[in-house]
């Protein structure tokens, strides 16, 4: 579904009509433990949603009991709360404050280290990839929402990484049937379903009354499903699942303006709305930290007291930090207005120029986790209204 010009371009991942339908099966909720066991046997470390620190967070899964059975979430601008569910649903919640970015693009990582021989002065360099004492973890991501599935692709593209291959994380996606109040993935073109994006996931689930409709999206997924107790899809269940996902698209809590956002943002650099939002924005950077596609970093060099050992570390940064745009002589964007405008314009506008797609996937995290409740869909709509109000109106003869 794509209702906004300038939203995520989903056409790159939609299969053509010549492809055979994907393999599908049904697994019971009790088989989730078998799924985790099969993934461990295949060399993957399962990580997924758990309850922690008053929210749904992502962490290692020792068993399916760690998953947030019977827990939901209520979101609003500047608000997030856990709720109780009577149906015991495993994935009956919207996204929490964390995304899969923390695994794909870690918040802090060492790029390389250097050691100097005090006797000779020779310097030996070792990059992080060549650190033999630190084995590479092969993750299995459990419960990836369609918006976050798109975010992984967008982030890899921004970081100029090749699409995930067989050595990438194993992805178990979960299609959404209950969108959150701050979600707008339907108008962003990234959800609430993902079954037609075979190749982006290994397995995709739709939760239906203590059982899951499974769609296979890769050869790896096919092999894992063989190791999990499953049954054929009974008549009518596929249609029920499709209907549940389609209904979710009509119950989004938010929607993007149905206009070309690239053109809108290019025309509104001097709009009064920027002053309005700047008066509310704390420039705290929460939106960039919870965003699953923001990728800005800073680099820091450190040395020990002897001066013989040095390391270079990369850490997440934010364009809301006044020092982020610092060059000789000072920072380029010194006002809250300029920094918010830079972020929003890049996310919905110039990201297209850089990477050929939108930088927003419609997860709504930036709305829920903004301390003052700034809503990007509301800000974009206000910019559109201001532009419309300022446009000259033609008379009955077509003159302006």
Residue 281 has pLDDT above 90, yes or no: yes
Q: What is the pLDDT of residue 163?
A: 64
Q: What is the pLDDT of residue 40?
A: 98
Residues facing 58 on adjacent strands: 49
Given 205, 229, 249, the domain boundary residue is: 249
Residue 303 has pLDDT above 80, yes or no: yes
How many C-beta atoms surround the C-beta of residue 295 within 10 A? 18
Q: At what angle do helices 219-226 and 32-41 cross, to 10 degrees?
A: 120
d(CA 308, CA 330) in angstroms, rounded, equals: 32
Q: What is the pLDDT of residue 10?
A: 39
Q: What is the pLDDT of residue 11?
A: 36
Clarify whether residues 278 and 327 are in a common domain: yes
Average the pLDDT over 162-183 and give the result.
Answer: 87
Clarify whether residues 144 and 205 are in a common domain: yes
Q: What is the pLDDT of residue 317?
A: 96
Report DSSP letters for 203-237, one per residue: EEEEE-SSEEEEEE-SHHHHHHHHTS--BPPPTTH
Assign 376 to helix, strand or coil.
Answer: helix
Q: Is the bond into 192 cis (omega within 30 degrees of 0)? A: yes
Clarify whether residues 21 and 153 are in a common domain: yes
Clarify whether residues 180 and 287 are in a common domain: no
379 domain residue, yes or no = yes
Residue 137 has pLDDT above 60, yes or no: yes
Residue 135 has pLDDT above 70, yes or no: no
195 domain residue, yes or no = yes
Give the rounded percent of residues in the chain with a pLDDT score beyond 70: 90
Domain that holds residue 216: 6-105+138-249
Q: What is the pLDDT of residue 92?
A: 95
111 domain residue, yes or no = no
Clarify whether residues 23 and 165 are in a common domain: yes
Q: What is the pLDDT of residue 161?
A: 80
Q: How confident is the model at residue 398 (pLDDT cuts 50, 70, 90)?
A: low
17 domain residue, yes or no = yes
Clarify whether residues 278 and 200 are in a common domain: no
Q: How confident is the model at residue 15 (pLDDT cuts 50, 70, 90)?
A: very low
165 or 46, which is more confident: 46
* Tokens 């965003």, residue located: 291
Clarify whether residues 180 and 51 are in a common domain: yes
Indicate the helix (H) or strand (E) that contains 387. Answer: helix 376-390
pTM (2 d.p.): 0.89
164 or 75, which is more confident: 75
Q: What is the pLDDT of residue 1?
A: 36
Q: What is the pLDDT of residue 329?
A: 86
Average the pLDDT over 86-92 and give the result.
Answer: 95
122 domain residue, yes or no = no
259 or 11, which is more confident: 259
Clarify whether residues 224 and 275 are in a common domain: no
Q: What is the pLDDT of residue 162?
A: 72
Contact 301, 310 (CB under 8 A): yes
Q: How confident is the model at residue 166 (pLDDT cuts 50, 70, 90)?
A: low
**β-bridge pairing 309-316 and 297-303:** antiparallel
373 domain residue, yes or no = yes
Q: How confident is the model at residue 130 (pLDDT cuts 50, 70, 90)?
A: low
Clarify whether residues 309 and 331 are in a common domain: yes
130 domain residue, yes or no = no
Q: Which of 392, 386, 389, 384 is nearest to 260 (CA)?
A: 384
Given 211, 226, 249, the domain boundary residue is: 249
Helices and strands (H, E) in the chain, number of each type: 13, 15
Clarify whether residues 181 and 281 are in a common domain: no
317 domain residue, yes or no = yes
Clarify whether residues 187 and 238 are in a common domain: yes
Clarify whether residues 228 and 371 are in a common domain: no
Report DSSP letters for 301-327, one per residue: EEE-TTSSEEEEEEEE--TTSTTTTEE
Residue 5 has pLDDT above 80, yes or no: no
* DSSP H helices in 227-284: 237-249, 261-267, 273-278
d(CA 271, CA 334) in angstroms, rounded, equals: 18
Structural domains of the chain, count = 2
Show Cβ contacts of residue 109 under 8 Å, excluding neighbours closer than 6 positions: 128, 313, 314
Q: What is the pLDDT of residue 389?
A: 85
Q: What is the pLDDT of residue 136?
A: 73
Q: What is the phi/psi pair of residue 382, to 5°?
A: -65, -40
Stretch among 122-131, 137-146, 268-277 having the lowest mean pLDDT: 122-131
Given 223, 249, 275, the domain boundary residue is: 249
């Amino acid at each position: 579904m794509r209702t906004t010009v300038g939203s995520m371009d989903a056409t790159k991942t939609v299969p053509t009509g010549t492809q055979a339908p994907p393999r599908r099966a049904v697994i019971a909720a009790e088989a989730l433990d078998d799924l985790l066991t099969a993934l461990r046997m295949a060399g993957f470390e399962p990580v997924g949603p758990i309850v922690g620190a008053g929210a749904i967070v992502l962490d290692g899964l020792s068993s399916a009991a760690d998953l947030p059975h019977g827990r939901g979430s209520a979101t609003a601008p500047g608000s997030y709360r856990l709720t109780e569910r009577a149906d015991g649903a495993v994935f009956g919640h919207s996204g929490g404050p964390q995304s899969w970015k923390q695994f794909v693009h870690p918040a802090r990582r060492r790029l390389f280290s250097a050691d100097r021989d005090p006797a000779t002065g020779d310097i030996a360099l070792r990059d992080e990839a060549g650190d033999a004492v630190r084995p590479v973890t092969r993750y299995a991501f459990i419960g990836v929402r369609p918006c976050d599935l798109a975010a992984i692709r967008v982030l890899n593209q921004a970081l100029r990484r090749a699409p995930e291959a067989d050595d990438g994380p194993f992805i178990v996606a979960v299609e959404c049937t209950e969108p959150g109040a701050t979600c707008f993935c339907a108008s962003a073109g990234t959800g609430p379903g993902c079954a037609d994006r075979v190749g982006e996931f290994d397995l995709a689930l739709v939760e239906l009354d203590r059982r899951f409709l499974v769609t296979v999206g890769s050869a790896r997924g096919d092999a894992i499903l063989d190791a999990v107790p499953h049954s054929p899809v009974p008549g009518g269940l596929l249609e029920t699942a499709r209907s549940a996902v389609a209904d979710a698209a009509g119950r989004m809590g938010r929607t993007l303006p149905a206009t070309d956002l690239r053109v809108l943002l290019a025309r509104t650099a001097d709009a009064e709305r920027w002053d309005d939002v700047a008066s509310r924005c704390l420039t705290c950077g929460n939106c960039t930290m919870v965003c699953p596609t923001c990728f800005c970093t800073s680099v820091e060099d450190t040395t020990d007291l002897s001066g013989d050992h040095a390391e270079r570390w990369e850490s997440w940064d934010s364009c809301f930090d006044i020092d982020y745009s610092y060059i000789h002589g000072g920072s380029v964007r010194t006002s809250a207005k300029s920094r918010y405008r830079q972020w929003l314009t890049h996310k919905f506008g110039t990201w297209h120029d850089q990477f050929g797609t939108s930088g927003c996937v419609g997860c709504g995290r930036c709305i829920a986790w903004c301390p003052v409740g700034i809503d990007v869909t509301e800000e974009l709509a206000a910019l559109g209204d201001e532009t419309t109000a300022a446009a000259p109106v033609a008379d009955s003869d077509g003159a302006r």
